A = this chain, B = another copy of it.
Amino acid sequence: MQVINVYDVEVEQIEGVDKVTLRWVIDEKVGAKNFAMRYFVIEKGGETPLHSHDWEHEMFVVKGEGYISDGKNKIKIKAGDAIFVEPNEPHHVINEDSPKLEIICLIPIK
């Protein structure tokens, strides 16, 4: 078994996206074969780009609050909320007011 503090994982920037960082916490490099755990930190005023893909997301809000949106409707999210995004569903995560919005986001490994 491996214990990995999320803040010890190398931080990646997403090209063209400000105020959002990404860490690949559990993936193939630690032996995962079925699904990967990523950790997003979204600063106040930041948001992930609206996009869709043919795989699902399972998310969990660790800190802060914000919104998840399909580009039309915004749903409030806060620490303790889990989020299921279906395959091909447009989505993005928005932090309007929190000092930091921190989210786990899991995806299948293809």
Contact = CB atoms under 8 A, between A and B. Distances in A.
A86 B70 CA distance: 35
B31 A34 contact: no
Interface SS of chain A: helix, strand, loop or mixed?
strand
A50 to B, nearest CB: 12
How big is chain A's contact interface, by range? 35 or more
How many copies of this protein are present in the complex?
A: 2
B77 A3 contact: yes
Interface string A78-94: 00111111100101000
Interface of A: 1-7, 25-26, 30-35, 37, 39, 56, 58, 60, 62, 68, 70, 75-77, 80-86, 89, 91, 104, 106, 108
